[in-house]
A = this chain, B = another copy of it.
Amino acid sequence: MDHRGPKFARLGAKVLEGMKSIFKTRGQVFIYPASGTGAWEAALVNTLSPGDRLLMYETGHFAALWHGLAERLGYQPEFIEGDWRGGADPRAIAERLRQDSAHQIKAVCVVHNETSTGSTTLIGQVRQAIDEANHPALLMVDTISSLASMDYRHDEWGVDVTIAGSQKGLMLPPGLSFNAVSEKALHASKSAASRKSYWAWDEMSGPNASGFFPYTPATNLLYGLAESIDMLMQEGLDNVFARHLRLAVATRSAVNTWGLEVLCKNADHYSSSLTAVLMPEGHDADNFRRIVLENFNMSLGNGLSKVAGKVFRIGHLGDFNELMLLGTLAGVEMGLELSGVPYQSGGVQAAMDSFSNRTGTENNSRQVASN
């Protein structure tokens, strides 16, 4: 396909428009032939100048990676320490912003869904915290592992830059990433002095207006993206979110029954797209993961950096349903048995119970609303 021809332009226009519906924004969306890390970089270099201060929140490994990236790029990111067991605390953010009467902090950066911990940050509350502090900082949110799996509202929650990637809720291979951008962020980009070219929004806007891109796009993934958007719209975003919530509730029922602990301690912050589980003291999570892989050909997520060897992660996002989850949970439960980890059996049964009676689902519908 000729990426300078009329057929391509129709595809380009379709996916650019479709992604606005996914982000729930009327603003602009930029698509990069890059993985999510690139979209992190794009969010910063388009809006900031060298030496700018940022406020970031240590929700886990990926927040720490983003923090490191900001440092490498020459910004001064302040890091509110976290215990990796919940989402960002809006009060801590509000407090820090109130101290910044000089408005030196140019952006607040949080991860919506920490893939390393299974904790979610309530973005609406972060927005409220910034507003209450009367602070002009931009709000940037990483939704790499939540977009199209959990409810997300770029415009309503007043987010300035949302970062996303192709390989999770969009059910594609990795290789595309996104910035959804508010008017305020676009305005900031006019005076942002950071050097950039590949990531530059201003070079994208012109060609995008007619469905094109300023350099060679990842054509095949864009075709796939058009399909993914169609599939999500056909199922209905609300149904997609409800499905992921059901899967998450069932997973936590299993974990509780096993007598293991969900890493996320704050029930309001539970993730719908993955659950991280703490291993009992004295038991190595990676040894357990190896046993599961060898016996059941299933690859569980590993604990990253601070929680390496201490947690394993169960993904339940994307093109995933109840029976696939139950197979997964069964692999975990049998792996616990084979690994000699102390546990109570019945986890899979508990997950099944949560699917076959309605009350489980209703109890948890609260969470969606409260987000």
Contact = CB atoms under 8 A, between A and B. Distances in A.
Interface of A: 2-5, 32-38, 41, 50, 65, 68-69, 72-74, 165, 167, 173-175, 194-198, 200, 214-221, 293, 296-299, 302, 321-328, 330-331, 333-334, 337-338, 345-346, 348-349, 352, 355-356
B323 A348 contact: no
Contacts of A293: 5
A334 B357 CA distance: 9
Given A41-B198, A174-B218, A323-B330, 20 more contacts: A2-B299, A33-B33, A35-B217, A36-B216, A37-B198, A173-B221, A174-B216, A174-B217, A175-B175, A218-B218, A296-B323, A297-B321, A322-B334, A323-B331, A326-B326, A326-B348, A330-B330, A330-B352, A333-B352, A337-B352
A20 to B, nearest CB: 23
Contacts of A197: 37, 41, 68-69, 72-73
A338 B330 CA distance: 21
Nearest to A299: B2
B349 A74 contact: no
Given A73-B197, A299-B5, A349-B345, A216 B324 contact: no
A264 B146 CA distance: 47
Nearest to A176: B175
Contact of A167 (B200, B216, B321, B333): B216
A171 B221 CA distance: 16
Contacts of A355: 334
A293 B321 CA distance: 13
Contacts of A221: 173, 175
A283 to B, nearest CB: 17
B299 A321 contact: no
16 contacts: A32-B34, A33-B35, A33-B38, A36-B216, A50-B195, A69-B197, A69-B198, A73-B196, A173-B220, A174-B217, A194-B195, A323-B330, A324-B327, A326-B348, A334-B352, A338-B356
A7 to B, nearest CB: 9
Interface centre among A72, A298, A326 (most CB of B within 10 A): A326
A330 B327 contact: yes
A192 to B, nearest CB: 13
Contacts of A346: 349
Contact of A349 (B69, B167, B348): B348
Contacts of A34: 32-34, 38, 198
Contact of A198 (B2, B38, B334, B338): B38
Contact of A296 (B2, B69, B174, B321): B321
A349 to B, nearest CB: 6
